[in-house]
Structure 1
Amino acid sequence: MDVFLLFLLVGLLAQIVDGALGMAYGVIANTVLLAFGVPPAAASASVHVAKIFTGAASAVSHVMHRNIRWSLFWPLAAGGMIGGVVGTYVLTGIPGETIKPFILLYLLAIGIWVLWRAARDVRLRLFPLGWSGPLGFVGGLLDAIGGGGWGPTVTSTLVGAGTEPRRAIGTVNTAELLVTVAISAAFLTTLLTGRWSGGALENHAAALAGLIIGGVIAAPFAGWITKRVPARLLTYGVGVLIVILAGYQGLQLAGFAP
């Protein structure tokens, strides 16, 4: 299949899931890029560039439907932007082959955790809402390093702490736009200053274009999909996909898969 069409489909499906659950676009897109041999820093940068466009479409939808809790939005966004910039400099300062196994472990852990949540239907109570700034920082840090992690970390924690799911998803998805812009700007800075060579982005322009267009197409329909497909079923799907892809990449690193 043509690379552009393949990643258009990936972006389309990932954004549908992200819009329905408030998470998974970055994790799914980053995992697929890594599976195609894209270096970790280039994969994360590509995903965050794509999320600027898909995030803007999603944010407009949430603002129109009044799904945002603004008192929560600002500290989350501020903490996420700081954490994302820190995570970018951590990621681009380390050779790709060195950090890739740790990113795969992170993605595998996310996948297993998502499956566990779906099976147990558990709401975790880890952070009080007053700690939204530090929570945003952790989410932004993991998002920059793993190319995804903002939604799984922040949305689930807020819902577990008692935030209305609709408000949590809307607030987190909208704040993600600012976090993504900060991370993308940090990647651009590291590229211009010579800290990181981003040539791989040019080599995967078709994949990046597919992710952007697929995500933008799906973003307006996410609310409709949410009403038709049970969230628990979507959660299982995300967990299974992430575990399979991360596991396959682990076998590749170990030399057991082509």
Structure 2
Amino acid sequence: MSALELVVYLATGALAGLLAGLLGVGGGVIMVPVLILVFMSLGLTAHWIPHLAVGTSLATIVGTGLASVWAHQRRGAVRWDLTWRLAPGLVIGAWLGAALAGWLPALWLKRIFAIFLLIVGLRMIWPRSVHSASTLPGPAGLFAAGSGIGALSALVGIGGGTLTVPLLARGGIDLRRAVATASACGLPIALAGATGFMLVGWGRDGLPAASTGFVYWPAVAAMLVASIPTAPLGAHLAHTLPVTLIKRFFGLLLMLVAARLLFA
């Protein structure tokens, strides 16, 4: 790994952690597009670049997710009963998402991620209010919802907070508890998704030597080291900076990145 490559991974991890604390944006939204561009510059086999970016992002989210859950748990905000009820669907969905990603051509996986970025960017520019319902779905409904969240999250390399928080908020869960519980739900998604990407990528030609399947460990280590200390800084800045304005600017940036990926 070159010095420049290391600097890019560290900067990406630091930015992902900062924005996670500042805007509540999952690290995968930052890490996946940057990793795609970095892997393209390294001349890796083009067919596996998006897969390697998504798998590496999921493996990194395991570490950042642990730090996030610990911070929320110290405040007693995690609803573990809901986490355990959602977990089976999240795990199975994440495995299915990883299996589907291993079958998809690189171009389609990149397009799916780009469309996801467009949707996230639009929601940041024009946020929609969440209307609470009286109760959450029953066991079958939670399993189905968890499966869908896990599959899409694994497919695009995120922890699923952008999907889990609205589900819980509509079910009448206080927003702070919804965010904390969503961070706990991100752990089974990331663990199952990263494991799935390691398995479906096992033995593929053209992957870096320091990878296990579609997980590139040097990038994981560098981004993890840089992201953990910057997340608390982002949370602190959220109380002093014009977050609404920053969120809209970042939403526009995500849409530009999405357009770049769609037409690259």
TM-score normalised by L of structure 1: 0.83
- In 1, distance between residues paired with 2:194 and 2:78? 23
The residue number in structure 2 matching 1:72 is: 82
Cα distance, 1:57 vs structure 2: 1.1
- In 2, distance between residues paired with 1:221 and 1:187? 31
- In 1, distance between residues paired with 2:224 and 2:206? 18
Matched, 1:94 2:93: no
Deviations 1:201-242 (A, max 9, x none): 848655433321121222344543333345534532442231
Deviations 1:132-178 (A, max 9, x none): 43322222111111112611111133234432111011111122112
183, 193, 217: which one pairs with 2:229?
217
The residue number in structure 2 matching 1:122 is: 129
1:151–1:44: structure 2 CA closer, same or farther, 3 Å change rule? same
The residue number in structure 2 matching 1:109 is: 119
Cα distance, 1:29 vs structure 2: 1.2
Q: What RMSD over aligned residues (CA atoms) do the two structures have, in Å?
A: 2.7
- Read off the aligned partner of 2:160 and give its amino acid letter: W
**5+ unaligned residues in a row in structure 2: which ranges?**
41-48
38, 54, 62: which one pairs with 1:52?
62
The residue number in structure 2 matching 1:249 is: 261
**Secondary structure at 1:122 match in 2:** coil
- In 1, distance between residues paired with 2:250 and 2:142? 25
- In 2, distance between residues paired with 1:110 and 1:123? 15
Question: Is the 1:57–1:216 Cα contact (8 Å) retained in structure 2?
Answer: yes
Question: Is the 1:31–1:242 Cα contact (8 Å) retained in structure 2?
Answer: no
140, 158, 163: which one pairs with 2:168?
158
- Read off the aligned partner of 1:85 and give its amino acid letter: W
1:29–1:127: structure 2 CA closer, same or farther, 3 Å change rule? farther
- Read off the aligned partner of 2:130 and give its amino acid letter: R
- In 2, distance between residues paired with 1:239 and 1:114? 5
The residue number in structure 1 matching 2:244 is: 232
Cα distance, 1:107 vs structure 2: 2.1
Q: Which has the higher helix share?
A: 1
Question: Is the 1:22–1:173 Cα contact (8 Å) retained in structure 2?
Answer: no
72, 84, 98: which one pairs with 1:62?
72
**Secondary structure at 2:263 match in 1:** helix
- In 2, distance between residues paired with 1:127 and 1:98? 38
1:202–1:233: structure 2 CA closer, same or farther, 3 Å change rule? farther
**5+ unaligned residues in a row in structure 1: which ranges?**
253-258
- Read off the aligned partner of 2:17 and give its amino acid letter: Q
Alignment of 1:161-240 (within 5 A): 161-192=171-202, 194=203, 196=204, 199-200=207-208, 202=210, 206-240=218-252
1:235–1:61: structure 2 CA closer, same or farther, 3 Å change rule? same
TM-score normalised by L of structure 2: 0.81
1:149–1:209: structure 2 CA closer, same or farther, 3 Å change rule? closer
Q: Which runs of 4+ in 1 moved over 4 A?
A: 124-128, 203-206
Cα distance, 1:78 vs structure 2: 2.4
